[in-house]
Amino acid sequence: MSVTELKQVLHSKIEEIDDENRLEEILSLVDAHSSANSLSTHEIAILEERHEQYLKGEEKEMPIEEFNAQLRKKYGF
């Protein structure tokens, strides 16, 4: 199914919904997806570079406990 066809199906299904809570759930889902994809090109480039460094063994792994301790120390959480 093409993107256009999927959109048409979604539009028609949404039009059939009369439950306000269900529509708000759909809106939340769409909003969450939109905000999850809001990284800038620069931020994406940084993440890709760090991922490459990790794959090459140049980036150090850190246990989550140590990471949290550093955040608390630096930002006072």
Q: How many CB atoms lie within 10 A of CB 72?
A: 10
Based on the domain organization, do 46 and 24 belong to the same domain?
no
Based on the domain organization, do 24 and 11 belong to the same domain?
yes
Q: How many CB atoms lie within 10 A of CB 66?
A: 10
Based on the domain organization, do 65 and 47 belong to the same domain?
yes
Instruction: Copy the structure tokens of residue 40.
Output: 């800038």
pLDDT of residue 67 exceeding 80, the answer is: yes
Based on the domain organization, do 27 and 46 belong to the same domain?
no
Domain that holds residue 64: 41-75
Number of domains in the chain: 2
pLDDT, tens digit (0-9, with 9 covering 90-100), for 2-58: 999 999 999 999 999 999 999 999 999 888 776 666 778 888 899 899 899 988 988
Based on the domain organization, do 71 and 58 belong to the same domain?
yes
pLDDT, position 11: 93
Based on the domain organization, do 7 and 30 belong to the same domain?
yes
pTM value?
0.42
